[in-house]
Structure 1
Amino acid sequence: MKRKIFFCSVLIIFAAQFNINLYNSDFMIAVAVILFSLFAFILGRYPILPITLIVAPGVFLSRALFYFVQTGTIQGSVISYGPEIVFYLVYGICIYLYFNKIDFKLTKSYMLVPIVAIDYLANLSELLLRDGINTFTLQLQIILLIVAILRTILIGGFWVGLEYQNFSLLKHEHAQRYKKLLILISRLKSEVIWMDKNSSLIEKTMSTSYKLYEQLKDRDDLTALSEEALSVAKDIHEVKKEYNLIIRGISEALNSSLKDEGMNISKIIQMLQEIIDLDAKGSNKEIYWEIKIDYDFYTNKQYYLLSIFRNLFNNALEATEDGTLNIKFTSKNQEDDIILYITDNGSGISDEYMEYIFNPGFSTKINYSTGEVKRGLGLSLVCDLVEKELSGKISVTSNSTGTTFKIILPKKTLEV
């Protein structure tokens, strides 16, 4: 607190040295007082009264010092500069009372009007001490009013500038959060699709267990085993019901919260670029992008595309052993279809793995220090999204210089 008081006081005293004379050589107009308001905008609630009690004599002493340096005497400095103490005391006390009333928050432009009145009153108080009744001339009152308005306009200008900056920062922050939310939703939708796919596997397992019970129930020597088979079938049925409830709950939550109409493919890729670049930076890698969008289509299937491209981009990033990676994305228009190419310059996919890469659970990514194997769902999920959700086709070509995924999607599925 003491440091804040000292810092603010010194700034105001220093700013007071920049002034002009509009009435006589002793009555000085400075912009220093606008700092009382600016500090409120920047710092919020701050100690105006202690600062006022330092600034009022501080400005006088600084002027008296300069006067002494110039003339070699301090005689006359009290008469010339002493009344300015009254100006800063009146201004500081009034601005303190006003900002306390509005809780140090200026929210509307009309709230600047009292600052005009405070400025006018402070100047009037100083001039009354200097000239007494002679202060009340029309010309001088107009000068005081114009000075008060001009200084308050400066305050308003700074306030508008700060509000705009805060709005821009808030807008940027909201944009970043929105991008992260879109990615999160795309991941959730992908997981729901995968869970839905596994639901059929649960159904199949339950059916197999019940068939086993049917085969064993008539065998007297296997009665206990048949009962266990039936118990397993019942348990699987209960698990399936709970599993489907979870899937339905997540799906309903996602569908009820998603009000987005759609996105252009260029926006989807731009968003993913930023996120994948951050992932690359965290892995001490760097990505060089080449984006060529010949056909910037608009789609309401953005969550599927986000998931597809994110998986492909991440796969390329994780597979690269070098510190740099080149990724090329191309979008083309071909009659009733949209053709998408994703190419990287990695080490490629071995021929022996090519026929397995879209199989669920298949992965060549092993952490040799921990023995952890990736779950191998990324490309399988990509294939399901492309072929089942978007009615498209996906193919891959690869060699030692890189890998290219080609995705063909029908326009009638994608475009809004």
Structure 2
Amino acid sequence: MTRQFTRNGLQRQALKWGHEFSELLYPLAKKTLPYRPRMWWIPRLPIWVHRRRMPHTRPWTAPVPDPAETLRTVPGIALLPERQQEAFDEVPLHDFIRLHPDMRSENSPTGHMWASLLSTSPRVQGAARKRARANRSPGATGAPAPISPDELTRRMKLEAARLGLAAVGVTAYDIKYNYAEYHGLGVGDTIIVGIIEQNFASTQMSPSLRAEKAALSAYAGLEDRMRLLAEWIRAQGYAARPEGFVGESMVIPYAVQAGLGQLGLNGQLLTPHAGSRCRIHVMSTDAPLVHDEPVDYGLEGVCNECQACVRRCPAGAIPAVRKESRGVVKAKLNTKRCLPVMGKTAGCSVCMKVCPVQRFGLPAVLEEYDRSGQILGKDTDDLEGFDWPLDGRHYGPGERPRLGPEVFETPGFVFDPERKVPLDWVEEPGEALGY
């Protein structure tokens, strides 16, 4: 297997020097730039300047073969509905930033990502502002057409493809996936899940500023396209309200329920065509669309056989075994280890980069498994190798950087994984349910 997307020794040193320069300027940046710098008004450079990081605006149409019987598990993800409801009744979900308000402060563990935000914020925030303005009037702008739900759904998906979304799915609204701070803001009982594909070549250079800028650029493209899809739905005679890329809900459970993928061991949605190399957005609507169903693509089985992300995670934050959490059987990430490393290494994303489904697509992975019983690319430097920005070294299979305590510490920020209620949350009667 030939190696691609690699750096030479000088380029790796440049990666390290870039990181050190960003760290040198960080004390100044955190004093002058808030958590979400308001830079939407800055003139944007032409798209072609950023072509290396722009998302792919092509719909996924290639068929996905059925997985081998040994890779099958359950459609979507294993759920324990009674335990899900009990967990929600005990403690509704809350916005992570509301649980940890210091995320917006100068001591945020993600503040080190200021360099990637600097050049992408104008486009991301500009798209978000347009979506927020459109959401002030989320109601219908036309009269409903006399067509069946099947035909309306077909036309909606064709429009999504025309706009450049990789895939869309439809499922039911579930208050258990909606953060308590935003209950009652939706405009219907149906959720449309939209996905855009993140730039392929840039993602293979993770961890790096280029890869992180590709992720943020994908969010900007997704905001624009979901806003335009919402306008189309309103013109068909129905209300539609996109939530935005920061999110008012847990988007991955909705995507799984809409049949767009399955939950990987890395805690991300694995789609058949791009793994987790994609960004997700949801909108609520009252349009009578036909709901999709969860699918067993064999992705959980591939994860069980592969576990590259478990072995390669620099922070050691990914467990190899799934356990029940709030009624969902999954590998629960160690956020206390993951978050600071992600913030200090341009988004990290090693777990995304080393996933064979991200790199080769599920059809190729299934074909290789059927042929040899092996996971395509597993234990090869072509897939699992990465360059580490903190020291400028390349780490191949079986190697991981040694991270000292200073990497995991963020002075001034207190992360409490057991915190269930926001520090500034004062609940009035009925407030938790959005009444």
Superposed pair shares fold, TM > 0.5: no
| Greater RCO (CA < 8 Å, at least 6 residues apart) | 2
Q: Which has the higher strand share?
A: 1
- Give the TM-score of the pair, scaled to structure 1: 0.20
- Give the TM-score of the pair, scaled to structure 2: 0.19
Q: Rg: which structure is higher? A: 1
